[in-house]
Structure 1
Amino acid sequence: MSNNNPPPTIVKCPTCSNAVVWGEVSPYRPFCSKRCQLIDLGEWAEEEKRIAGAPDMSDSDGWSEDH
């Protein structure tokens, strides 16, 4: 009897680039470990990582809710 299961999806850990199986065997996916997950969280908390977006509107931009 042959095994027709597809091969597991493998991704790189965003922190250390180790191979990680994308599945139940990897509880911290996409990270390889709790350590790498916490390193990434710390980088977000320290604002070393951010998502690009539109610049903030402020009074100096000439924007007002009154207009």
Structure 2
Amino acid sequence: MPEFESVRESAEAIGRITCIKTGAEIGLLYRWNNGETQAALDEDSSNELPTSQSSAVEPDIGAKCS
């Protein structure tokens, strides 16, 4: 089976996402091995590396920072 360039296999954290009101860290920005970037916002304060099997995390623009 041919390998597609858009397949996500691994990611590395390249930046922190902070609340503009409080300065608290609320997530991380990841770069996948295919060059795509993805924001992962914390829900339970865990900073786990996303995997290609995990569902995509879409940022909630209206979310409140604590």
- Length-normalised TM-score, structure 2: 0.28
Structure with greater Cα Rg = 1
Q: In proportion to residue count, which structure has more strand?
A: 2
Q: In proportion to residue count, which structure has more helix?
A: 1
